[in-house]
Amino acid sequence: MKQVKIDSKLFIENRKKLVKQLKPNSMVVVQANDVMPTNADGTMFFKQNSDLFWLTGVNQEESILVLYPDAPDPAFREVLFLTETSPLIEVWYGRKLSKSEATEVTGIQNIVWLSNFNQIFRNLVTDADNIYVNTNEHKRADVIVQSKSFKFIDWCKENYPLHNYCRLAPVINRLRMIKSPQEIELMQKACDLTEKAFRRVLKFVKPGVMEYEIQAEFAHEFLRNGSTFADYYPIIASGPGACVLHYIKNDEPCKDGDLILIDTGASYSNYNADMTRCIPVNGKFTKRQKQVYNACLRVMKNTIALVKKGGIWKEIQKATEMDMEKELIGLKLLKLRDIKNQDPAWPAFKKYFMHNVSHFLGLDVHDVGYFQTPYKPGMVFTVEPGIYIQEEGIGIRLENNIVVKENGNFDLMRNIPLEIEEIEEIMNS
Helix, strand, or coil here: 99?
helix
Q: What is the pLDDT of residue 148?
A: 83
Q: Which residue of the set 61, 221, 384, 424 is catalytic?
A: 384
Compute the average pLDDT of residues 79-89.
90
Reference 300, options 154, 409, 400; nearest CA is 400
Q: Which residue of the set 41, 142, 406, 421 is catalytic?
A: 41
- Quote the distance between the C-alpha of residue 96 and its chain's center: 26
Backbone torsions φ then ψ of 138, nearest 5 degrees: -60, 135
- DSSP line for 342-374: -BTTB-GGGGT--S-S--B-SSSSS----TTSP
Q: Which pLDDT tens digit goes with each residue over 98-127? A: 999 999 999 999 999 999 999 999 999 999
For the question of residue 138 being annotated catalytic, the response is: no
In the CATH scheme, what is the code of domain 9-177?
A: 3.40.350.10
What pTM value is reported for the model?
Answer: 0.95
Spatial separation of the C-alpha atoms in residues 292 and 414, rounded to whole Å? 21
Q: Which residue of the set 34, 78, 192, 263 is catalytic?
A: 263
In order of 169, 204, 296, 356, 357, the CA distances from 323 in angstroms are 35, 34, 10, 14, 12
For the question of residue 258 being annotated catalytic, the response is: no
DSSP bridge partners of 357: none
For the question of residue 384 being annotated catalytic, the response is: yes
- Axis-axis angle for helices 287-306, 420-427 (nearest 10): 130
For the question of residue 199 being annotated catalytic, the response is: no
Q: Which residue of the set 274, 323, 367, 424 is catalytic?
A: 274
Q: Which pLDDT tens digit goes with each residue over 403-412? A: 999 999 999 9
For the question of residue 220 being annotated catalytic, the response is: no
For the question of residue 263 being annotated catalytic, the response is: yes
Helix, strand, or coil here: 167?
strand
How would you classify the pairing of strands 259-264 and 275-280? antiparallel
- Interacting residues of 72 by C-beta distance below 8 A, sequence separation 6+: 127
98, amino acid identity: S
pLDDT at 2 over 70: no
Q: Which residue of the set 167, 220, 224, 355 is catalytic?
A: 355
For the question of residue 246 being annotated catalytic, the response is: yes
The highest-level CATH class for domain 181-427 is alpha beta
| For the chain, domain boundaries | 9-177, 181-427
Q: Which residue of the set 77, 176, 277, 359 is catalytic?
A: 359
Q: Which pLDDT tens digit goes with each residue over 26-48? A: 999 999 998 888 899 888 888 99
- DSSP line for 76-100: GSEEEEEPPP-HHHHHHH-----HH
Report the percentage of the chain scoring pLDDT > 70. 99
> Do 181-427 and 9-177 fall under one CATH topology?
no
Q: Which residue of the set 211, 352, 366, 367 is catalytic?
A: 366
